[in-house]
Amino acid sequence: MDKAEISESTVVDSNNNNLAPNHTSTTVTETVDMVDTTPTNNGPFGLNPEQCMQLIDPKSTDVLKSLGGIEGVIAALHTDPTKGLSTANRPLTTVVSDDEKENQAHNVDTSSSSVTIEDRVQYFGRNALPPRKPKSIFQLMWMALHDKILILLLIAAVVSIGLGFYEDYGVEHKKEDVYNEDFTISDKEQPKISWVEGIAILVAVMIVVLVGSINDFQKEAQFRKLNAKKEDREVKVLRNGETVLLSVFDVVVGDILHLEPGDVISADGIFLGGHNLKCDESAMTGESDAVKKVSFEEYKKLEEAEAALHKDEPTALTTEPHGLHGVDPFIISGSKVLEGVGLYVVTGVGPNSFHGKTMMSLRTEADETPLQSKLNGLAEQIAKLGGLAALLMLVILFIRYFVGFATNGKPPANEIFNRVVGIFIAAITVVVVAVPEGLPLAVTLALAFATTRMLKDNNLVRVLAACETMGNATTVCSDKTGTLTQNRMTIVSGTLGINTRFIADVPEGDLNQRANIPINKHAVAISQLVGNLPPAVTTLMHEAIAINSSAFESEDENGKLSFIGSKTEVAMLDFSKKIGGADYRKLREAVPVTHMYPFSSERKSMATIVQMGPKKFRLHAKGASEIIMKRCNKIIQISSAADQSTPLSEKDRNAEITELDLNSDLETQIHKTIISYATQSLRTIGVAYRDFESWPPAGIELNQDGEVPFSAVAESGLTLVGIVGIEDPLRDGVPEAVLACQRAGVFVRMVTGDNILTAKAIATQCGIYTQGGIIMEGPKFRALSEEEMDAVIPRLQVLARSSPDDKKILVGRLKAMGEIVAVTGDGTNDGPALKMSDVGFSMGIAGTEVAKEASSIILMDDNFSSIVKAILWGRSVNDAVKKFLQFQLTVNVTAVVLTLVTAAISDKQEPVMSAVQLLWVNLIMDTLAALALATDPPTPDLLDRQPEPRTAPLISFTMWKMILGQSILQLVVTFVLKYKGMDILGYYDLPSDLAARPDADLIRTPYITFKEQELNTMVFNTFVFLQIFNEINSRRLDNRLNVFSGILKNTYFMVIFVIMVVFQIIIVEFGDVAFKTEKLDAVQWIICVILGLLSLPVGVLIRLVPDEIFGVLRKWVDASEPPRASLPTFEGHPAQDGIDRTNSLTTSVNSRTNSRTNSMSSTNKVRSDLTVFKSIRGGRLSIDSERSERNLNTGAVTPSLVAVSIGTGILPNAKNSSQVDVSGSSRRSSRAATPQPSDLPVNTQREPTST
């Protein structure tokens, strides 16, 4: 594109680089008739949402032409391509019809102030999908009532009510004596209460359903908040002539949006202008190739040229020109920006956009998490056992009842029917108690609370399964910039030319407090630099920084100006401002940008070409210092006095920039400068330029896009301006966080694009790089074979100068070795590695939208310490579910056995606990216990153990020990109390006051009957208190004795504990006929509570029993569990946490690889079981699947460092540090054990020393 074309097609944005086309400079002369040209009233705009959608779906330049081209669209939307929308709140005054659009195209009135933002939202909609209508409490209750077992119970209850009324009022009863409390005969009739039990069952079922539905409602509300948060993000928008950051939800039709590499496009629109913009639309259109975006004017030129090329072909005017395939001016929402920059005008938002329509039609059910799958499989097995127990009880009770006819005679038909219904109710209630429908939902409850609280810890969970997985992560591959460091970059040192050095302004006497600033008596303070440099050099630096940048200045909430953009570019703009540079906006406006090569992680640099004069084009380049230096063959020469504190002479001040050829001596000096900065943890950036007489340069072959290849103009022939050292301080708490990870058995690796010395310095400060570890560069690592990688990876602690491909390769090998891998990433190209990892962390501040879409968790503060919190929460979720499981299985075992045995032994075929009592127990063990145990906050001691492998069983040996021990205790206590309680408590003997009465013999039978009812109440009461206190006991999963640790921090637990105690008191004291309870006196209450409290001391005794006593069982459990992950241990070097571990990393890796393979068939079986389980019950089990959808979905080291090829590995040894060479014939054939330093051949070159 020549200068004339550029000046016609672009205008300068006040904040950015000449991106917006000058639509007022041309007139649209060509229009194409639409199929339907009937004038319509489009209200305040010249376009309606349907017409805007027709532009994009399908892409139609004919529609765009019929609307008057881009100028017609701009006018119809009342926007300004150079200033964006105005936020002035003025009344709506314009109404446009289709007939006026042609006039608008010729008389463009782009005033956006006549239409308010609110008008646009009202007419075109908001840029957000309408939320699914949340289910009300009543809808959730109705879904819960679809539980097939509850339906059976309700039917039986209704039948029981009918029989009860019939028995009370339809049948003649023999008059029986009614006794008062003092056992005197009352003159009252026997109360007619046969129907009460059925009513009580109905009420109890409704309470269970109501409490469960409230729980589900609160859980869904938390997930809705989480979904809204994770869908929100900020985009760059042009408003009032200034670039501002807005929530994506606040984007409206008519806005002018910026496009940068890594953006996920948030709204449909039409491209206005930019540089080399390419988009990935494969997810939207299925087109696998990148689509280049051009302005409508440029598209028309290409179309005309292509038509002229094929003018002799008969089909040339009826088909799309072949040469325009993969080129268009349309921006599709949901697509991703691969490279380039640009601006576009928004034409469709929310449901009226391409992506919005697609998402509205694809709203699907959420997938299960792995823990939910495991729990559903376990619940299926428990359900089968419970159903078998209920069936067994049903058979036994029927046999006993009907066999009794032979001895007792056949009772009336209504009594038989009533008894049969009672037996059915008892059996169905056993199924209700035995089938743990709360078990699969417990993990969802734990995740709901965990993800909500994780957000407060700056972890935004996008994929629920990641929360569980993170708890068992074995390795973390972390970026450096912004994750381990503060991403608060400042230029603190630098060298211009050969030896013009400068340092940051530090108060005198305070230099030693700035360890990263090299002390040099010949260095000048930045504030004094302008007086020691020729103006030509200062101007060159200003231009190089301001023009070759996409950062901009904006006001924050407090009205304070600050730079926004890449932190490196922000640091450089701030440096330009400190040395007296002109306003960056004026520089950008004064110099037209001809072409731009945005930064990419592959080339680790960026470049911008500007026109300096009639025959002078200058390429400004910046990037990694050693990369830039390699591309230079010259360096600027700066005239200055020997003592840089002396002002420049007039001659030197007026001197022009001169260039020197780079010879070996100068290269060595520059390398030493880079090493000096890098060893002080400074990031080094090189600045260079190159001049051309024309653009495109003569003799340069254009690529397939018709553009000058970057490699042809920016990878050689540059002139070095200088090297700057950027300080990015380590984040507070990072060393402690790294140590916490290592203590938790999580291996932390740094994977960075920085050079090897900067990476080493930062990694050492963090505690990542330790004695016995390896540092290697990306290109060298990439060149290794899989065997060589497997030999190096166990000790690989830092991968420097790595590309996104290197990160992906590392993640792939780690997963192949059986590791559970967490990865951090912020760039577009990090997407594959983030997707491949088990848990991908993207950066909420510095991360691109593509990286965020590919990640599982977003670090809202970009802080490594937040990863440690994610590990804590992941382990807390897993523990919460296991605590609930440990508690519920105990209740399942005891409730089912107690009910089955007591019913089978009873003369009346009735269990010791009634159906209503069992429903109360079911409420305790399902919803209330899940809420109490699933909400324990994480404690630091969770990091004191090793991560669990993927195939570790849900129930550990220690848990089984507690479940069986507590079950035995509860069964012994309840059976002894039931069958020996009358004797132990002396209830067969009349008290002295009754024994002295003359009718003592007559009242003995009713007295004993009453005491039996009291005893049954005591059994029920004791059973419930055993569960209540065992809930405290279940708070620990290990053998530690303090079960009260942190209990007061869990408000939910304390409140639910009190609720259960209070309601149990109410049920016992006032339940009466409904709950079949009798009031207890103080002594009886004390007995029940003391028996319930036995759970705690017995729990202590169980924990004190050494696991080794159960040798055979222990061996069986150990054989079923794969080895746990461990920190790598090196010969002579203990693991970081000081714990001596004898198993090598490679051994545990191989074991986990086998366990990963073996787990596949069991996972499929669990999913099969789940289908059966849901089909059996339904109800609340199907509610969880109704949730709203989840969005489910750096180069080479400096040549002076090494005399051999790029990318060596550094081993820090006590005396001499060698570089690893794992290539060549000296590779070992066996990799069974962790490689020791002696396993790998090393060369004789020593680690370079800093200068």
β-pairing, 242-247 vs 234-239, is antiparallel
Is residue 708 in a domain? yes
- Angstrom distance (rounded) from CA 1208 to CA 1246: 11
**Same domain as 20, residue 72:** yes
**Most confident residue range from 13-27, 215-229, 354-368:** 215-229
Dihedral through CA 57, CA 326, CA 293, CA 564, nearest 10?
Answer: 100
Banded pLDDT at 3 (limits 50, 70, 90): very low
Q: Region 629-637: what's the mean pLDDT?
A: 93
Domain boundary pick from 1119, 1140, 1162:
1119
Residue 1056 in contact with residue 1007, Cβ under 8 Å? no
Q: What CATH number is given to the structural domain containing 846?
A: 3.40.50.1000
Q: Which helix (H) or strand (E) holds 915?
A: helix 915-923
Judged against a pLDDT cut of 60, whether residue 335 lies above it is answered with yes
Tell me which of 44-53, 162-171, 184-193, 994-1003 is least confident. Answer: 184-193
CA proximity to 820, closest of 832, 833, 837: 837
Dihedral through CA 195, CA 198, CA 200, CA 206, nearest 10?
Answer: -140
Q: Region 692-710: what's the mean pLDDT?
A: 87
Judged against a pLDDT cut of 70, whether residue 813 lies above it is answered with yes
Return the percent helix, strand and coil in the chain, to nearest 5.
50, 15, 35
Q: Which residues lie below 8 Å from residue 240, measured CB to CB, with a gap of 6+? A: 83, 84, 85, 86, 87
Domain boundary pick from 1053, 1085, 1119:
1119
**Same domain as 468, residue 608:** no
**Same domain as 163, residue 86:** no
pLDDT digits (tens, 9 = 90+) for 239-258: 988 888 888 999 999 999 99
Residue 272 in contact with residue 81, Cβ under 8 Å? yes
pLDDT digits (tens, 9 = 90+) for 504-533: 875 554 444 444 444 454 678 887 777 778
**Same domain as 472, residue 338:** no
pLDDT value for 941: 87
- Angstrom distance (rounded) from CA 695 to CA 618: 10
Is residue 78 in a domain? yes
Dig out the tokens for 608 from the structure: 């911008």
Is residue 517 in a domain? no
pLDDT digits (tens, 9 = 90+) for 888-925: 889 888 988 998 898 888 877 788 888 888 888 887 77
- Angstrom distance (rounded) from CA 640 to CA 499: 10
Q: What CATH number is given to the structural domain containing 208?
A: 1.20.1110.10
Is residue 510 in a domain? no
**Same domain as 1229, residue 1094:** no
β-pairing, 234-239 vs 178-179, is unpaired
**Same domain as 666, residue 650:** yes
Q: Which residues lie below 8 Å from residue 323, measured CB to CB, with a gap of 6+? A: 302, 305, 306, 309
Judged against a pLDDT cut of 60, whether residue 596 lies above it is answered with yes
Residue 404 in contact with residue 908, Cβ under 8 Å? no
Give the domain range for residue 891.
144-221+369-449+871-938+953-1119
Judged against a pLDDT cut of 90, whether residue 776 lies above it is answered with yes
pLDDT value for 964: 92
pLDDT value for 794: 94
Is residue 1149 in a domain? no
Is residue 445 in a domain? yes
Q: Which helix (H) or strand (E) holds 1065?
A: helix 1051-1070
Q: Region 657-684: what's the mean pLDDT?
A: 90
Q: 3-class DSSP state for residue 179?
A: strand
What percent of the chain lies above the pLDDT cut of 70?
A: 72
pLDDT value for 1173: 41
**Same domain as 700, residue 592:** yes
Q: Which helix (H) or strand (E) holds 291?
A: strand 291-293
The total domain count for the chain is: 4
Is residue 397 in a domain? yes
E strands, 778-837, where? 796-800, 821-825
Tell me which of 193-197, 832-836, 971-975, 1195-1199 is least confident. Answer: 1195-1199
Banded pLDDT at 1193 (limits 50, 70, 90): very low
Query: Residue 840: what are its φ and ψ, rounded to 5°?
Result: -105, 125
Is residue 1129 in a domain? no
Tell me which of 148-157, 232-241, 271-280, 646-655 is least confident. Answer: 646-655
pLDDT value for 785: 92
pTM score: 0.68
**Same domain as 701, residue 776:** no
pLDDT digits (tens, 9 = 90+) for 1121-1170: 444 434 343 333 333 333 333 333 333 334 444 433 333 333 333 334 43
Q: Rounded mean pLDDT of the chain?
A: 76
Judged against a pLDDT cut of 50, whether residue 7 lies above it is answered with no
> Which residue type occupies 740?
A
pLDDT value for 179: 62
Residue 532 in contact with residue 524, Cβ under 8 Å? yes
Judged against a pLDDT cut of 80, whether residue 727 lies above it is answered with yes
User: Which residues are part of the catalytic machinery?
Assistant: 479
Judged against a pLDDT cut of 80, whether residue 1015 lies above it is answered with yes
Domain boundary pick from 727, 747, 765:
727
Judged against a pLDDT cut of 50, whether residue 927 lies above it is answered with yes
**Same domain as 352, residue 400:** no
CA proximity to 505, closest of 476, 535, 481, 525: 525
pLDDT value for 1199: 31
Dig out the tokens for 252 from the structure: 């409206």
CA proximity to 461, closest of 233, 230, 232: 230
Banded pLDDT at 158 (limits 50, 70, 90): confident
**Same domain as 69, residue 173:** no
Q: Which residues pair with 385 in a beta bridge?
A: none
Report the chain's C-alpha Rg in angstroms: 38
Angle in degrees, 0-180, between the axes of helices 1000-1033 and 915-923, rounded to the nearest 10: 20
Q: What CATH number is given to the structural domain containing 534?
A: 3.40.1110.10
Residue 548 in contact with residue 626, Cβ under 8 Å? no
pLDDT value for 402: 78
pLDDT digits (tens, 9 = 90+) for 353-397: 888 887 776 555 555 556 666 666 666 777 777 778 778 888 888
In terms of pLDDT, which residue wins out, 424 or 156?
Answer: 424
What percent of the chain lies above the pLDDT cut of 90?
A: 24
Within 548-658, residue ranges assigned H as helices are 567-578, 584-590, 625-630, 650-653
Judged against a pLDDT cut of 90, whether residue 825 lies above it is answered with no
**Same domain as 1209, residue 1112:** no
- Angstrom distance (rounded) from CA 252 to CA 129: 13
- Angstrom distance (rounded) from CA 1204 to CA 288: 40
Dihedral through CA 78, CA 84, CA 87, CA 91, nearest 10?
Answer: -10
- Angstrom distance (rounded) from CA 1159 to CA 411: 57
Judged against a pLDDT cut of 90, whether residue 1171 lies above it is answered with no
E strands, 788-883, where? 796-800, 821-825, 839-843, 857-859
pLDDT value for 1101: 94
pLDDT value for 310: 66
Q: Region 772-796: what's the mean pLDDT?
A: 93
CA proximity to 469, closest of 857, 813, 750: 857
Residue 866 in contact with residue 858, Cβ under 8 Å? no
Judged against a pLDDT cut of 70, whether residue 1221 lies above it is answered with no
Banded pLDDT at 49 (limits 50, 70, 90): confident
pLDDT value for 1069: 92
Dig out the tokens for 212 from the structure: 């469960």
- Angstrom distance (rounded) from CA 199 to CA 206: 11
Q: What CATH number is given to the structural domain containing 119?
A: 2.70.150.10
Judged against a pLDDT cut of 60, whether residue 108 lies above it is answered with no
**Same domain as 331, residue 272:** yes
In terms of pLDDT, which residue wins out, 107 or 598?
Answer: 598
- Residue by residue, DSSP assigns 956-1024 as -HHHHHHHHHHHHHHHHHHHHHHHHHHHHTTTTSPPHHHHTSTTHHHHHHHHHHHHHHHHHHHHHHHHH
